[in-house]
Amino acid sequence: MSDAPEVSRPVITPVRVVIALCLVAPFVAMLWVSSYAKVEPTFIGIPFFYWYQMLWVLISTALTMIAYKLWQRDQRARKAEQAQGGATR
């Protein structure tokens, strides 16, 4: 039995890239102020500047929830992979 480190899955995976995009997208959308710094179009009398930001509150919530669920699934898969690898030795 050797003490060599186990070869595991790569740290950067497609799922983790999607997680990162879900978490970064709201920041990019809100920091790019010139894209929404206008009055028109209004929505039920609310200027675009305000309703766009409020819409991103909902979008951010959904994206964070998706990222969290993907992270949980990724962690479960890694733990199962480790347990499976440990059981075969």
Distance between CA atoms of residues 43 and 50, nearest Å: 10
Nearest to 67 by CA among 26, 32, 31, 23: 23
pLDDT tens, position by position, 31-81: 999 989 999 999 999 999 999 999 999 999 999 999 999 999 999 988 988
Measured between its terminal Cα atoms, the distance across the chain in Å is: 9
* pLDDT score of 22: 96
CB 63 within 8 A of CB 25: yes
* pLDDT score of 3: 60
pLDDT tens, position by position, 8-20: 667 888 999 999 9
- With vertex at residue 20, the alpha carbon angle to CA 19 and CA 21, rounded to the nearest 5 degrees, is 90
What pTM, to 2 d.p., does this model score? 0.78
* pLDDT score of 81: 83
Alpha carbon 88 to chain centroid, angstroms: 33
